[in-house]
A and B are shown apart, each in its own frame.
Chain A
């Protein structure tokens, strides 16, 4: 069974703090996506990373794809209450006929 381990599962921090969410696997991914989901809604794509070592920035969010394309991280600088939500990573697994593998999600709460 292919796994994409996402950590932490839950994070509650104060506004203004920094945080990092991780997605790790033993599989190699052709691409990896990050989504954010708010309660009662579907996930919304934040970014796709494709190249090993790639770094993408979306305002205060920084996404990195590992050199070996087996892991990724999401770093949020100066978190704000609007960042609250469920963050999901998902990758197309090259070792398994490009199945889309999902992490279990990180529930993030930013307290004002």
Chain B
């Protein structure tokens, strides 16, 4: 069966520090991968998606970047965090562009 791992679960970082959130998927090949940010108790905002290694599409210009160094690994990064980067970050995968998403348990990022 397929599983998705996302870490860390919580993170507190000072303004101006770098960020690296990692997500890995097991049990499937060539998944579509996604990074979302969610405001408290509300809907999801797509940040990045990837259909293959090295292929990243950015949906919202911002202080963040994403990379896909391996087929089932997706990384969300920032060189210098801003207060506004605080939020709940979710990684997800799907088998095709039009299939349901399967989410990790998220990372609660607090920038202080």
Q: Give the chain B neighbours of A98 by CB distance below 8 A.
A: 97-98
- Structural contact, A42 and B103, CB atoms closer than 8 A: yes
Count A interface residues, CB 8 Å.
22
Q: Give the chain B neighbours of A86 by CB distance below 8 A.
A: 41
- Structural contact, A45 and B102, CB atoms closer than 8 A: yes
Q: Give the chain A neighbours of B92 by CB distance below 8 A.
A: 42
Dominant SS among interface residues on chain B: loop
Answer yes or no: A76 CB below 8 A from chain B CBs. Answer: no
- Structural contact, A105 and B98, CB atoms closer than 8 A: no
Dominant SS among interface residues on chain A: strand
- Structural contact, A42 and B46, CB atoms closer than 8 A: no
Chain B nearest CB, measured from A46 CB (Å): 10
Q: Give the chain A neighbours of B44 by CB distance below 8 A.
A: 43, 88, 90, 102
- Structural contact, A104 and B103, CB atoms closer than 8 A: no
Q: How far is the CA of A48 from the CA of B101 in the complex (A)?
A: 11
- A residues neighboring B (CB under 8 Å): 6, 30-31, 33, 40-45, 48, 86, 88, 90, 92, 98, 100, 102-105, 107
